[in-house]
Each structure stands twice: as C-alpha cells, then as structure tokens.
Amino acid sequence: MEQGPPLYFEDVDLGDEIGPLDKTPTDDAVEAFCDLAGTPVPNRFVHPEEAKRLGLPGPIVPGTMSAAMMSQLFTSWAPTATLKKIDVIFRRPVLHGPIRIAAVVADKRVEGVEHLVECHVYISSQDGDLSVGGKAIIALPSRGE
Amino acid sequence: MLELDHARKLLGKEHRAGPFPVTRQLIDEYCAVLGETSPLYTDEAAARQAGYESVLAPPALCVLFANRASLPGVIIPDVRSSGAVAGLVVEPFVTVQAGDFLTASSRLKEVYPKKGRRGTTMFIIWETFLSNQREERVARVETSFAVQG
C-alpha cells in the first residue's frame, strides 16, 4: 500500500475503510523479526517442532510483528496521520503466509487540540478468518488549524 | 498450576533495561523486514525536510525493547514457555529517531484468573514505559499473556 496524499480530519467520515494492506510474513521475515527482537530460541515462531510441541499447526507470526504490521496500515494511510494508540487482541494464531490488514473508521472526536479518528482494525487470513482484532486511534490535522 | 500468590508478590516491582541504541541500521532492518516504505522512516532527506535530524523509528519499533525489559528476573516460568500473547497495546507519545537511546521500565501490572469453557486461564499484564536520553517518556507498551492454569 503506497502512502496516500495528505489527509485532514474533515476528509474522514465514519465507515470509511482504510486499506486493505496485504502482507506475507514469510519464514525468513519472521526469523529476521525474531532476530531483531532478540527472541530466545527455539521458539514457536521459527521452529516447526517447537510450534508442534505447543499444539500449533505450524510456526506463527509473533504478536509484536502482527501489531507492527497493523500499525503500518496507519503510517501508510497518509503522511499527516499520527498513530496515538493501537490496542489489539490476538484471537487465534497468525500463521506464516498471506494475510490481509484493514480498518474501518468507527468514531471521530476532538480532544483538546487533537483531532482524533478511532478505527476498528483487524488481520484476517487468506480464508477470511479473523485472527487479530482491535482498535487504533489516529490524530489528523484539521483544515481549520 | 501457576503460583498466583507468588505472581502477585511481583506486582508493581520495576524491571529496568537499557539504554538501547536506536540505530539507523536497526530502523533500516526493521523497515526491510516489515516492508515499511514511508519516507520518514526510510529516507534521511525526507526526514530532514520534515524537521527531524534523522529517520524516525516506526511507532511500534519500541516494542522490541519493551519485551527485552521483562525477560529476566520474573518468576512465572510458564509464561515464556507456553503462555501466549493475548493482547498488546502500543501508545507512542513522542517520536523516536535514529541516534536516540531508549530505556525500558517494566512492571507487572495485573495478574488475574478467568474461568472459561476450557478451564481457568491466567492473564498476566505487563506495562512498560520507554524513555529517551532526555528522560522523556516516548511510549507505553502493555502486553497481556494468557496462560492455561
């Protein structure tokens, strides 16, 4: 998803969709992420035998990596968007392979000097099953500023 | 079965880690792994044009350091071996850029059991505040682990 043009609070409406952002966390990408995070080995993210030992169908994407990719949806949205908070719940493991990240604008409000947009955000698998869901709050500039 | 009383004795105790350097190389590698292409994170000239000294760290990068802070010295062994991350909150306050140093201060915020169809699950909530070299709080990270009791 290429970064869009500058976006203002007034440009956004309830129900607007953000994305989708299609990503494919590969075995190599997950291993590289775990290396950056200093994740101890063996682990359920990279090692199939460890994933199997824990009853998982295969190595999974770390929750921190899923959240990072969800954040990217908003940083890619517009150069004027500032992520204020993302709060996600991991409903089921995210397996390596294609995923889709998308969001819907659920609320808009002004708090003090900040113009905030609240979104429902989720990751779904190739089959359309919801794996991770949550909400994000993004600040946008106002045309009136 | 987890030792709930023992875990509760750890509530509020601070675990510090760092300082961790936020290098240009770390940001580059993080962006490469995630396919992040926003110019503020990947293009020094664009970041400078926007008024920063160097490229910015994507907002969720600070989670890398939050996790390191809570690893040692916490006596709930099942959490790391078979616990699953149930939830994650990232709340950036201040932009982080290449050249910054971050220190993590983590504490066990909450431990509580919840009964469900599969039995009792223990929820263990860690909260980490990350501060930069100017002692500004740059982000809050809250990680929830779910452990089958």
Residues B11-64 pLDDT 10s = 878 888 999 999 999 999 999 999 999 999 999 999 999 999 999 999 999 999
pTM equals 0.91
**CB-CB under 8 Å, A29 with B60:** no
Chain A residues within 8 A of B71 when measuring between CB atoms: 40
Chain B residues close to A69, C-beta within 8 Å = 34
Answer yes or no: is pLDDT of B77 > 80.
no
Q: What is the pLDDT of residue A128?
A: 86
Residue A2: what pLDDT?
65
Cβ neighbours for A118, distance < 8 A, ≥ 6 positions apart: A105, A106, A107, A108, A109, A135, A136, A137, A138
ipTM entry:
0.93
Question: Could you list the mean pLDDT of each consecutive 10-residue stretch along chain A, which spans 145 residues?
Answer: 82 97 96 92 92 92 96 92 97 95 98 97 91 97 88
* Average pLDDT, integer, range B107-132: 87
Residues of B in contact with A71 (CB under 8 A): 58-60, 90
Across the interface, whether the CB atoms of A38 and B64 are under 8 A apart is answered yes
The pLDDT confidence band at residue B83, using thresholds 50, 70 and 90, is low
